[in-house]
Amino acid sequence: MKTQLTVLGGGPGGYAAAFLAADLGMQVTLIDREPRLGGVCLLRGCIPSKALLHVAKTLADARHLDDWGVSFPPPVIDIDKVRQRKEKVIATLTGGLKQLAAKRKVQVIQARAAFENSHTLKLTPVAGGTLADDRVEFDHCILATGSLPTRLPAFELPTPRVMDSTGALELTDVPESLLVVGGGYIGLEMGTVYAALGSRVTVVELTDGLLPGADRDLVKPLHKKLEKDFSAIYLNTKVAALEDLGEAIEVTFDGDVEQKVQQFSRVLLSVGRTPNTAGLGLENTKVQINKKGFVEVDNRCRTAEEAILAIGDVAGEPMLAHKAAHEGKTAVEALAGRPAVFNPRAIPGVVFTDPEIAWTGLTETQAKQEGRKVEIAQFPWAALGRAQAVGRTEGVTKWIVDPESQRVLGCGLVGYAAGDLIAEATLAIEMGAQVADVAETIHPHPTFSETLAFAAEVHLGTATDLYRPKR
Ligand code: NAD
């Protein structure tokens, strides 16, 4: 079989690329080993975790109403129904993708594919399926195979009690206790879900803080909140051994922990993700893999092999769906001869805990590491009417400002709905806005979005919702 463009991988990067290519008139084949489109993000990542976090959030909000004199009896959780509802969300969205592919005449093939050479993929059927053709020849291929949970082979015991993010999202039960290994995005989001459903959650993190890489002043309010929601957070600690006792997993800790040996009903391993390049036959092409295991690409997503482009998690950090989709579109536009480059000033990151943490552009931590001079403008949410009205005053909004040009280079937020607020900051950075542009933009009152303007006013010395003695 011959096609103009083959996209390998049906996640948010791959399907965005395939659909745009079809819209631009290309003949497109989209290959994925899964029976359904959507990739990790939709099938066992961003979307199902957000569905479960919605449940967690609603439970927490209901509990929070106690402070207002409204209380509910303890919730009755039908875990089968929670799981079914989450599955329904996935089914609706993946069904939508199937229709969108069909409408665009994108040919979708379920198979495992590996490069035989720079213009041919060999296909192997999956799950007892059959294939009309076992080879696809292409003019161009976009590699969008994503990433896999980083493995810790020594700890992967043959028991469902030890899970990765896929197992955790299956939500087979609500374990009495859960140990989360790795205090990053996945560990904290899934820990939040299980804690809300009633598990006693413990997090063990190798470094000296949760979410290493994120600015510490943003992590602090979250850490404080999680100390209440979780039963323990162990920093500077690693797991020395795991043993399956049948009824529980016995864990030996090495680090800042008093009780070195503890038992847990389940263990979630969430220590990062690894680009998915194994078994793809890339050695039969000129595609280069860098030291971190990512496919080397230029700013038009081209690899060292003229016919092959790569996007998304497999092509470098940050491993985020929105970055993948943008790269997918850039790759297709580049193929169509348009002057497209992937050169963003800001890629937002969001951790959907409660409170949420979000950042975009330059972080204060990065600025420090690079020895770059920046000015920081902060607004504490305790001074915000809306935050007081809903009892969510723990938030902080800050801008990272270039001292010379007064342009906003980065923004960080912790607080309720921070993940939605960060979009405005990303736009401001992309548009090259100065801090005064943000301050002078009228923000609706009373909303959390005002904190973006107020932080900018703090920087300019014009904030009236705070009192700052004259410098
Ligand atoms: P992560 O890199 O965010 O966090 C892994 C954590 O594990 C780090 O804090 C690290 O220090 C720690 N760690 C590593 N080895 C350890 C060990 N042996 N013992 C204890 N701790 C250890 O990785 P993740 O949470 O697995 O998520 C993977 C990727 O998936 C993220 O980088 C992100 O790109 C993506 N993701 C994004 C979202 C989102 O956008 N909301 C949500 C989930 C995942």
Any domain includes 420: yes
Whole-Å CA distances, 109 to 125, 126, 202, 398: 9, 10, 42, 46
- Angle at CA 171, nearest 5°, toward 167 and 174? 120
Let me know whether 194 and 301 are in one domain: no
Cα-to-centroid distance, 205 and ligand 1 (Å): 10
Q: Residue whose CA is closest, atom 36 of ligand 1?
A: 185
Q: What is the mean pLDDT of the chain?
A: 97
Q: Which two tokens stand for residue 442?
A: 């009228």
Cα-to-centroid distance, 318 and ligand 1 (Å): 11
Cα-to-centroid distance, 213 and ligand 1 (Å): 11
pLDDT tens for each residue of 284-325: 999 999 999 999 999 999 999 999 999 999 999 999 999 999
Domain extent for 285: 2-149+274-335
Residue 402's CATH number? 3.30.390.30
pLDDT tens for each residue of 337-394: 999 999 999 999 999 999 999 999 999 999 999 999 999 999 999 999 999 999 999 9
Rounded Cα–Cα distance for residues 209 and 207 (Å): 6
Any domain includes 342: no
Residue 129 has what pLDDT? 85
Residue 119's CATH number? 3.50.50.60
Q: What is the pTM of this model?
A: 0.96
Any domain includes 52: yes
Residue 148 Cβ inside 6 Å of ligand 1? The answer reads no
Cα-to-centroid distance, 185 and ligand 1 (Å): 5
First-to-last C-alpha distance (Å) of the chain: 72
Q: Residue whose CA is closest, atom 4 of ligand 1?
A: 184
Residue 39 Cβ inside 6 Å of ligand 1? The answer reads no
Give yes or no for residue 244 having a pLDDT over 90. Answer: yes
Query: How many of the other CB atoms lie within 10 Å of CB of 390?
Result: 15
Domain stop point among 271, 294, 321: 271
Residue 175 Cβ inside 6 Å of ligand 1? The answer reads no
Any domain includes 344: no
Q: Which of 54, 119, 445, 459 is catalytic?
A: 445
pLDDT tens for each residue of 225-235: 999 999 999 99
443 in catalytic set = no
Let me know whether 323 and 414 are in one domain: no
Residue 272 Cβ inside 6 Å of ligand 1? The answer reads yes
Give yes or no for residue 467 having a pLDDT over 90. Answer: no
Rounded Cα–Cα distance for residues 456 and 462 (Å): 9
CA 323, 324, 325, 328 torsion: positive or negative?
Answer: positive
What single letter denotes the amino acid at residue 20?
L
Let me know whether 72 and 59 are in one domain: yes
Cα-to-centroid distance, 339 and ligand 1 (Å): 35
Residue 209 Cβ inside 6 Å of ligand 1? The answer reads no
Residue 48 Cβ inside 6 Å of ligand 1? The answer reads no
Residue 260 has what pLDDT? 97
Any domain includes 13: yes
Let me know whether 8 and 117 are in one domain: yes
Let me know whether 285 and 252 are in one domain: no
Strands 162-163 and 177-181: unpaired
Question: How many domains does the chain contain in total?
Answer: 3
**Over pLDDT 90: what percentage of the chain?**
97
Whole-Å CA distances, 201 to 23, 416, 431: 47, 22, 42
Confidence of residue 469 (pLDDT cuts 50, 70, 90): confident
Let me know whether 315 and 451 are in one domain: no
Q: Which atom of ligand 1 is nearest to the CA of 204?
A: 20
| Contact indicator for 387, 381 with CB cutoff of 8 Å | yes
Q: Which two tokens stand for residue 262?
A: 């503890």
Let me know whether 140 and 279 are in one domain: yes
Q: Which atom of ligand 1 is nearest to the CA of 188?
A: 25
Any domain includes 470: no
Let me know whether 25 and 123 are in one domain: yes
Let me know whether 93 and 173 are in one domain: no
Confidence of residue 213 (pLDDT cuts 50, 70, 90): very high
Any domain includes 301: yes
Domain stop point among 271, 296, 325: 271
Confidence of residue 127 (pLDDT cuts 50, 70, 90): confident
Give yes or no for residue 33 having a pLDDT over 80. Answer: yes
Residue 179 Cβ inside 6 Å of ligand 1? The answer reads no
Let me know whether 160 and 225 are in one domain: yes
Let me know whether 377 and 331 are in one domain: no
Domain stop point among 271, 291, 310: 271
Let me know whether 134 and 39 are in one domain: yes
| Contact indicator for 110, 34 with CB cutoff of 8 Å | yes
Any domain includes 324: yes
pLDDT tens for each residue of 67-108: 999 999 999 999 999 999 999 999 999 999 999 999 999 999
Residue 471 has what pLDDT? 63
